[in-house]
């Protein structure tokens, strides 16, 4: 059989029996068959080829992401072989790179040469797939005669994207053949290699992982500022200073900034652009004078305006109210978990930010208000709630129905409900809100404390702030002012925001 694989072969066999026939005149026996039509027979035998292919892959356990000045190249090794019994025709190895990675180069070890392989690389939605097709069959060791190698090694080099999230990525590959019979052991036809991506100058032990969930103490690709406000007449008494910093030492970043009016849910937007290590401050009285709400900052590609992975933004704010409430609040930082977290189509006019634990971090579902002071001692605790959702091309989503529990310091809980038909609610805790069957001033009487947890009746994400003001801080040693972001007790993967896509107008 030829060393090349054939699915079937027909082998005809014929014979003419020697039958003695006497001649009556001469008596000589002639070796002639008077009927030859039945002297030939044909048998068809179908020979089907089957090969047991295997594939192994290796790669680095960790790698740094690239910078503008220095590419980071990772090498993956693909070792393939054929255990027979037949040669394998049409062998193809398909390698799927991690999202955002691009092919740098490849090579194949002897006895193969680059002329023995056809290579194609395609990219769809940010994922590059590399196909290696052997031009000749992959040999089997038990063939009677073969000139084909029975194994080989391919080395593939790929470029790690700039600002890739600090996550583990998986490079996977498969091997297949066009032989008639299926591979008897498909378990070894797939191989993977896992690599933990870190920032330059860090290692897996010191890197801040992207999957660490939303927090106001990390960097992110999306920043959520929980409150902004200003008094158009007297901004000296009521105003907000929004601060943002690019902690990258090598990369510029463009930021799409959205300001959402807490009462009407209308949306304003603008771009700010930061150079490496740059920090900026913006006053609410300059951006949206006389209004209150929250802000969302989204890192975007400077060429397309599409949201990008750039977990190097940090921020905070200083806010003050005419009422005396004031606080320094950290911006809630949300990390991207993949490259191109919100589509890669450069012609898109809008896209969705999905906070589902796959594209971006998940967001808070149940919030907690820690250590509520008694209103009977002149404490005025302002509670700010923000709904995360909506279509920022038109308007943000309303908070809707919420429910929760207020606990006194003897662990007794008092339930409440409220319908908040706004995008941002601001309430000073009192007998009016939260409205419990036992009045709030009796749930937490003088010299006592309590706490509260709350959530939307329908699944959805909330951010919140508590700011306490007590006018007696100069005369009472137990009176304090300040505030902080609310604690997140549980998370949800249902939050989503639709944002418009424009090419940034700043340089």
CATH value at residue 145: 2.60.40.1530
Rounded Cα–Cα distance for residues 54 and 80 (Å): 6
Instruction: Mark which of 166, 198, 230 sits at the end of a domain.
Output: 198
Q: What is the mean pLDDT of residues 120-144?
A: 91
Q: In angstroms, how far is CA 61 from the centroid of its own chain?
A: 20
| Residue 395 and residue 485 in one domain | yes
| Residue 176 and residue 143 in one domain | yes
Output the CA–CA distances (angstroms, integers) from residue 118 to 24, 54, 133, 370, 392, in the order listed. 74, 20, 5, 64, 47
Q: Is 241 helix (H, G, I), strand (E, B) or coil?
A: strand
For residue 25, being part of any structural domain is answered with: no
Q: Is the pLDDT of residue 246 over 50?
A: yes
Q: What is the mean pLDDT of residues 30-52?
A: 70
Q: Tell me if 406 sits within 8 A of 450, measured CB to CB.
A: yes
Confidence of residue 84 (pLDDT cuts 50, 70, 90): confident
Q: Is the pLDDT of residue 50 over 90?
A: no
Task: Check residue 28 and give its pLDDT.
Answer: 56
Q: What is the mean pLDDT of residues 16-43?
A: 64
For residue 310, being part of any structural domain is answered with: yes
For the chain, what percentages of helix, strand and coil (3-state, to nearest 5) are there? Answer: 5, 50, 45
For residue 320, being part of any structural domain is answered with: yes
Structure tokens at 303: 């060429």
For residue 23, being part of any structural domain is answered with: no
| Residue 109 and residue 237 in one domain | no
For residue 397, being part of any structural domain is answered with: yes
Task: Check residue 25 and give its pLDDT.
Answer: 62
Rounded to two decimals, the pTM is 0.87
| Residue 351 and residue 477 in one domain | yes
Q: Is the pLDDT of residue 180 over 90?
A: no
For residue 507, being part of any structural domain is answered with: no
Strands annotated E in 199-238: 222-229
| Residue 184 and residue 283 in one domain | no
| Residue 190 and residue 241 in one domain | no
Question: Under the phi-then-psi rule, with left for phi > 0, alpha for psi from -120 to 50, and beta for the rest, what region is 393?
Answer: alpha
Task: Check residue 207 and give its pLDDT.
Answer: 85
Confidence of residue 66 (pLDDT cuts 50, 70, 90): very high
Q: What is the mean pLDDT of residues 266-281?
A: 98
| Residue 234 and residue 138 in one domain | no
| Residue 420 and residue 374 in one domain | yes
| Residue 186 and residue 231 in one domain | no
Number of domains forming the structure of the chain: 2
Task: Check residue 26 and give its pLDDT.
Answer: 58
Instruction: Mark which of 163, 198, 233 sits at the end of a domain.
Output: 198
Range of the domain at 344: 222-500
Confidence of residue 8 (pLDDT cuts 50, 70, 90): very low
Task: Check residue 23 and give its pLDDT.
Answer: 61
**What CATH number does residue 471 fall under?**
2.60.290.11
């Amino acid at each position: 059989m030829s060393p090349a694989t054939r699915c079937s072969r027909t082998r005809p066999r014929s014979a003419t029996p020697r039958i003695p026939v006497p001649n009556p005149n001469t008596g000589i026996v002639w070796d002639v068959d008077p009927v030859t039509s039945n002297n030939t027979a044909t048998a068809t035998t179908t020979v089907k080829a089957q090969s047991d292919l295997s594939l192994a892959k290796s790669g680095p356990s960790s790698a740094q992401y690239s910078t503008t000045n220095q590419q980071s190249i990772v090498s993956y090794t693909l070792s393939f072989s054929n255990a027979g019994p037949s040669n394998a025709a049409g062998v193809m190895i398909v390698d799927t790179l991690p999202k955002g990675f691009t092919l740098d180069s490849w090579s194949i070890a002897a006895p193969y040469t680059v002329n023995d392989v056809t290579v194609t690389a395609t990219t769809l939605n940010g994922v590059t797939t590399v196909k290696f097709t052997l031009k000749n069959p992959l040999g089997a060791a038990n063939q009677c005669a073969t000139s084909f190698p029975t194994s080989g090694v391919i080395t593939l080099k790929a470029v790690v994207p700039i600002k890739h999230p600090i996550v583990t990525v998986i490079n996977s590959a498969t091997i297949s053949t066009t032989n008639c019979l299926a591979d008897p052991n498909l378990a070894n036809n797939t191989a993977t290699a896992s690599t933990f991506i870190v920032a330059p100058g860090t290692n897996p032990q010191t890197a801040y992982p992207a999957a660490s969930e939303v927090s106001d103490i990390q960097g992110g690709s999306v920043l959520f500022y929980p409150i902004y406000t200003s008094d158009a007449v007297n901004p000296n008494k009521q105003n907000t200073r929004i601060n943002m910093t690019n902690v990258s030492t090598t990369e510029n970043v463009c930021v799409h900034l959205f300001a959402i009016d807490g009462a009407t849910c209308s949306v304003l937007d603008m771009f700010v652009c930061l150079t490496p290590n740059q920090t900026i401050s913006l006053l609410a009285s300059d951006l949206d004078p006389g209004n209150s709400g929250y802000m969302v900052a989204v890192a975007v590609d400077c060429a397309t305006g599409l949201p990008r992975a750039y977990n190097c933004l940090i921020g905070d704010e200083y806010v003050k109210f005419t009422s005396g409430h004031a606080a320094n609040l950290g911006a809630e930082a949300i990390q991207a978990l993949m490259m191109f977290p919100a589509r890669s189509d450069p012609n898109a006019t809008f896209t969705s930010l999905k906070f589902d634990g796959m594209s971006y971090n998940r967001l808070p579902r149940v919030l907690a208000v820690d250590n509520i002071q008694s209103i009977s001692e002149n404490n005025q605790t302002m509670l700010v709630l923000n709904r995360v959702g909506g279509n920022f091309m038109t308007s943000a989503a309303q908070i809707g129905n919420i429910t929760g529990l207020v606990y006194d310091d003897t662990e007794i809980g008092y339930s409440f409900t409220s319908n908040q038909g706004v995008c941002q609610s601001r309430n000073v805790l009192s007998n009016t809100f939260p409205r419990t069957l036992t009045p709030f001033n009796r749930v937490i009487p003088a010299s006592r404390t309590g706490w509260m947890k709350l959530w939307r009746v329908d699944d959805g994400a909330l951010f919140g702030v508590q700011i306490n003001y007590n006018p007696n801080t100069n005369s009472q040693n137990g009176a304090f002012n300040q505030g902080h972001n609310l604690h997140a007790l549980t998370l949800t993967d249902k939050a989503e925001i639709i944002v418009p896509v424009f090419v940034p107008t700043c340089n």
